[in-house]
Amino acid sequence: MIRGLFITVEGTDGSGKTTQIVRMQEHLVSLGCEVLLTREPGGTRISENIRSIILDPVYTEMSNTAELLLYSAARAQLVEQVIRPSIAKSITVICDRYIDSFYAYQGFGRGTGYELLEKITGIAVNGTIPDITFFFDLDPEIGLKRRFAATGSDRIENEVIEFHRKVYKGYKILAGRYPERIRTIDASRPADEVWLDVRRQLDMILGFVKSV
């Protein structure tokens, strides 16, 4: 039995990931794939509970260490309970955020050292690395304006714009560091145009088209 693909979707807040994820799922299903959609932090009963603590705007006193351990606990549970068993059963998993969010937000945003994050990530994911990652590249100022207008803001989104700029810069660095795995998508364009790009890349990964 061939294992399922593991796809992750990344970007600063309000970069339009959700719309594209739904289209990705529909497209993959139309091609005959069994698809499971999940998210980070969250995706299991335990991880969703951790999510509500992490993102609750009332917890302004949360320390950086507590924050990174909470994200990691949520991730460990999701990997063990959902991601690994699903890909083993040939299910394609699409995860809204994963380890690159951790490096971008806790690493570049909060300033926690790479070695520590790598060590904790190693424990949390135990070798479960995405086959492909879509990075939706959008100026964080534009994304946050979109997000605030649509849904209001959580504890992370409430951070100052300098934090979000560092996160954005971090994503760019990660995309440069892992060019094979991380595909950068210009998310400043209309959603339909973004989708054509995403679909082309997806089809290429699945081997449905021969070249870019």
Q: Give the interface with ligand TMP as residue ranges (CB under 6 A).
A: 13, 39-41, 71, 97, 101-102, 105-106, 156-157
Between 171 and 195, CB nearer to ligand TMP? 171
186 bridge partner residues: 137
Shortest distance, position 104 Cβ to ligand TMP, whole Å: 8
Enumerate residues 6+ apart whose C-beta is below 8 A from 172. Answer: 137
Q: What is the number of alpha carbons within 13 Å of residue 104 lying toward its C-beta?
A: 26
- Say how many Å lie between the first and final Cα of the chain, rounded: 29
Indicate the residue whose CB is closest to ligand TMP: 105
CB of 179 to ligand TMP, least distance (A): 22
Which one, 25 or 203, has the nearer CB to ligand TMP?
25
CA–CA separation, 89 and 15 (whole Å): 31
The distance of closest approach from Cβ of residue 98 to ligand TMP in the complex, given in angstroms and rounded to an integer, is 6
- Give the nearer residue to ligand TMP in terms of CB position, either 70 or 205: 70
Choice between 32 and 127, CB closer to ligand TMP: 127
17, 9 Cβ separation under 8 angstroms: yes
* Shortest distance (Å) from residue 74 CB to ligand TMP: 8
What letter would DSSP give residue 185?
A: E
Backbone angles phi, psi at 206, to 5 degrees: -80, -5
